[in-house]
């Protein structure tokens, strides 16, 4: 079946979001009746810009990586279709992203829901890292949730495979607020710890309903971290002063007690978060190690309250053009 005929299977129900390289629509598969997320990428904009046949590198990376992974907490790429000037990625559909859910929730996330989400996310990250894949852009906007209590990682445009020993990669990855301190200090030899730090920031945001380190520039981001975690020293992070962007003139802040900033539901939450927000990447626990913590062993599927998020069924009769 050619791609034009395959596209006819889908009926657009409305726009679900928009990113750098394309628009995401909620659509329905006419054959199965199931909803999907349809990411449309216009190819002509990328010709002659170093992209493979006009396909942006982020889309190529996402397709390549997602075709090789299968996990209950990673969004599934169902199909790839193309026309002469457009590329369509068909994903399983979830109700909304974690950022929107937190922004519109009247109450902080329930303790059991936070635990449930963290168990699923760490399980997914352990799976990715065991397959030598870094996500590199974990943030609430890239985590999708549904009414059954599932949470799934999406948007693998910045993800990449890694090898051991680690190679030199660009440090200009991961949205600022969730970027690990080693990246902000110019480290180019990094590994799985960057995803763990990002997840720690996400966990703190679930507990606080606001970002823990909301910097507006790289230096402001560092200072936001330093003011809470303390300015890193050689005794707690050996080699930190040798990183390219570390300055001896950095202000010397002492670490604050996280309990004064984050409203923990219990001590186990605090322990898990501190392990994830450890300065020294060599001492930062892996996802596999964190999954052994008693806190996560009692996690169970917990249903979020999505009653405040009515699903709009605005039909676009024009189809996915």
Same domain, 146 and 80: no
Identify the pLDDT of residue 157: 61
Mean pLDDT of the chain: 85
Written as six digits, the tokens of 194 are: 């960057």
CB-count burial class (<10 Å; 0-12, 13-18, 19+) for 152: buried
Q: How far apart are CA 40 and CA 38, in angstroms?
A: 6
Same domain, 265 and 145: yes
Choosing from 64, 92, 120, the residue where a domain stops is 92
Tokens of 244: 């390219």
The residues annotated with a catalytic role in the active site are 137
Q: What is the pLDDT of residue 228?
A: 98
Give the E-state strand segments of 142-187 in sequence order.
143-145, 151-153, 160-161
Q: Do residues 145 and 264 both lie within one domain?
A: yes
pLDDT digits (tens, 9 = 90+) for 286-308: 999 999 999 999 999 999 988 76
Q: Give the bridge partners for 133, in sequence order.
A: 161
Instruction: Return all residues near 262 (Cβ < 8 A) that are at least 6 apart.
Output: 204, 207, 208, 212, 270, 273
Which structural domain, as residue segments, surrounds residue 233? 96-297
228 occurs within a structural domain = yes
User: Bigger pLDDT: 108 or 279?
Assistant: 279
CA distance linking residue 133 with residue 135, whole number of Å: 6
Number of helices and strands in the chain (H, E):
10, 10
Asked whether residue 118 falls in the same domain as residue 265, the answer is yes
Q: Is residue 273 part of a domain?
A: yes
The whole-number average pLDDT for the span 33-44 is: 85
Q: Do 84 and 158 belong to one domain?
A: no
pLDDT of residue 291: 97
Residue 46 has pLDDT above 90, yes or no: no
Per-residue model confidence (pLDDT) at position 317: 42
CATH number at residue 101: 1.10.510.10
For residue 70, what is the domain's CATH number? 3.30.200.20
Contacts of 148 (CB under 8 A, 6+ apart): 301, 303
Residues 199 and 87 in one domain: no
Count Cβ atoms below 10 Å from residue 47 Cβ, excluding itself: 11
Domain count, the chain: 2
**Last residue in a domain, options 38, 73, 92:** 92
In a domain, 321, yes or no: no
In this structure, the answer to whether residues 168 and 72 fall within a common structural domain is no
Q: Is the dihedral of CA 298, 293, 138, 37 positive or negative?
A: negative
Inside any domain, residue 3: no
Kindly state whether residues 108 and 193 are assigned to the same domain.
Answer: yes
Distance (Å, whole) CA 221 – CA 284:
20
Could you tell me if 144 and 96 are in contact, meaning their C-beta atoms sit under 8 angstroms apart? yes
Q: How confident is the model over 167-194, as pLDDT tens digits?
A: 444 444 567 999 999 999 998 888 899 9
Q: How far is CA 223 from the centre of its chain?
A: 23
Q: Is the peptide bond before 3 cis (omega within 30 degrees of 0)?
A: no
Which pLDDT does position 4 carry in this prediction?
Answer: 59
Looking at the structure, tell me whether residues 25 and 87 fall in a common domain: yes
CB-hemisphere CA count at 13 Å for 11? 13
319 within domain boundaries: no
User: Do residue 140 and residue 212 come from a single domain?
Assistant: yes
Instruction: State the pLDDT at residue 20.
Output: 59
Please answer whether residues 152 and 75 qualify as being in contact, where contact means their C-beta atoms are separated by less than 8 angstroms.
Answer: yes
Each residue of 202-211: pLDDT tens digit?
999 999 999 9
**Per the domain annotation, does 309 fall within a domain?**
no
Residues 6+ apart with CB under 8 A from 249: none
pLDDT band at 314 (very low <50, low <70, confident <90, very high): very low
In a domain, 109, yes or no: yes
| 104 domain-assigned | yes
d(CA 30, CA 7): 10
Q: Which residues pair with 302 in a beta bridge?
A: none
Q: Are residues 181 and 204 in the same domain?
A: yes
Q: For residues 104 and 68, state if they share a domain.
A: no
Burial class from Cβ neighbours inside 10 Å (0-12, 13-18, 19+) for residue 116 reads: buried
Can you give the pLDDT at residue 18? Answer: 72
Residues 272, 277, 283, 284, Cα dihedral to 10°:
70
Which of 34, 66, 92 terminates a domain? The answer is 92
- The pTM for the full model equals 0.86
Q: What are phi and psi of 229, to 5 degrees?
A: -90, -10
Residue 218, number of CB atoms within 10 A of its CB = 17
Phi-psi region of 56 (alpha: psi -120 to 50; beta: other; left: phi over 0): beta
């Amino acid at each position: 079946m050619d791609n034009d005929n395959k596209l006819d299977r889908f009926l657009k129900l409305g726009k679900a979001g928009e990113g750098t390289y394309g628009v995401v629509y909620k659509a329905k598969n006419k054959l199965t009746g199931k909803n999907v997320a349809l990411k449309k990428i216009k190819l002509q904009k990328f010709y002659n810009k170093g992209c493979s046949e006009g396909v942006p590198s982020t889309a190529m990376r996402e397709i390549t990586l997602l075709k090789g992974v299968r996990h209950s907490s990673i969004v599934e790429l169902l199909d790839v279709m193309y026309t002469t000037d457009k590329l369509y990625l068909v994903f399983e559909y979830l109700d909304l992203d974690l950022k929107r859910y937190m922004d519109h929730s009247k109450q902080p996330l329930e303790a059991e829901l936070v635990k449930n989400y963290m168990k699923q996310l760490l399980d997914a990250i352990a799976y990715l890292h065991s397959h030598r894949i870094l996500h590199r852009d974990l943030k609430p906007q890239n985590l999708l949730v549904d009414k059954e209590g599932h949470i799934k990682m999406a948007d693998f445009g910045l993800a990449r495979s890694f090898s051991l020993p680690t190679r030199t990669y660009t440090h200009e990855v991961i949205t600022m607020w969730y970027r690990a301190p080693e990246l902000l200090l110019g480290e180019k030899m990094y590994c799985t710890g960057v995803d763990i730090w990002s997840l720690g920031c996400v966990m703190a945001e679930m507990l606080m309903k606001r970002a823990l380190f909301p910097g507006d520039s790289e230096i402001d981001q560092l200072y936001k971290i330093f003011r809470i975690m303390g300015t890193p020293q050689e005794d707690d992070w050996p080699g930190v002063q040798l990183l390219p962007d570390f300055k001896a003139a950095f202000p010397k802040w002492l670490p604050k007690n996280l309990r004064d900033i984050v409203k923990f539901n219990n001590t186990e939450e605090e322990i898990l978060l501190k392990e994830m927000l450890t300065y020294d990447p060599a001492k930062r626990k892996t996802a596999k190690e964190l999954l052994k913590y008693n806190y996560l062993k009692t996690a169970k599927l917990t249903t979020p309250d999505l009653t405040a998020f009515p699903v709009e069924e605005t039909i676009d009769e024009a189809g996915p053009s």
